[in-house]
């Protein structure tokens, strides 16, 4: 705990790393490539209020992995008390698809980031 997790040389030869790199490059989001250290594993924590601790923890096992959006939505629903139903999940998936389409269009147009996302 409190220690950075560094990727070793074995990460470079993993096909999943190259898939993640390509996916992130295609997304058009500025800062995913060639910025920062690049060998430190990341992750996501969702915290409960006060001293109630960690509600969700995701740690990269391959550089560029993403936390599953359904897990994130479910945890946020549980800790916020806001009911999450199938319609909400479908709307979130549709919105995510729209963001991806805009990112791809921006990348095709040579833009490096998406305004408004």
Confidence of residue 107 (pLDDT cuts 50, 70, 90): low
**pLDDT of 28 strictly over 80:** no
Against a cut of 0.85, is the pTM above it? no
Q: What is the mean pLDDT of the chain?
A: 78
d(CA 23, CA 15): 12
What is the per-residue pLDDT for 45? 94
Percent of the chain with pLDDT over 70: 82
Which 8-state DSSP code applies to residue 2?
-
Higher-pLDDT residue of 115 and 94 is 94
Q: What angle do CA 81, 87, 92 make, to 5 degrees?
A: 80
What is the per-residue pLDDT for 114? 40
């Amino acid at each position: 705990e409190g220690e950075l997790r560094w990727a070793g040389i074995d990460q470079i030869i993993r096909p999943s790393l190259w898939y993640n790199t390509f996916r992130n490059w295609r997304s058009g989001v500025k800062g995913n490539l060639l910025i920062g250290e690049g060998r430190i594993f990341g992750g996501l924590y969702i915290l409960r209020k006060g001293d109630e601790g960690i509600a969700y923890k995701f740690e990269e096992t391959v550089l560029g992995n993403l936390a599953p959006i359904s897990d994130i939505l479910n945890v946020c629903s549980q800790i916020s008390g806001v009911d999450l139903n199938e319609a909400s999940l479908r709307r979130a998936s549709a919105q995510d698809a729209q963001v991806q389409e805009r990112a791809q269009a921006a990348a095709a147009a040579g833009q490096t980031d998406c305004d408004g996302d």
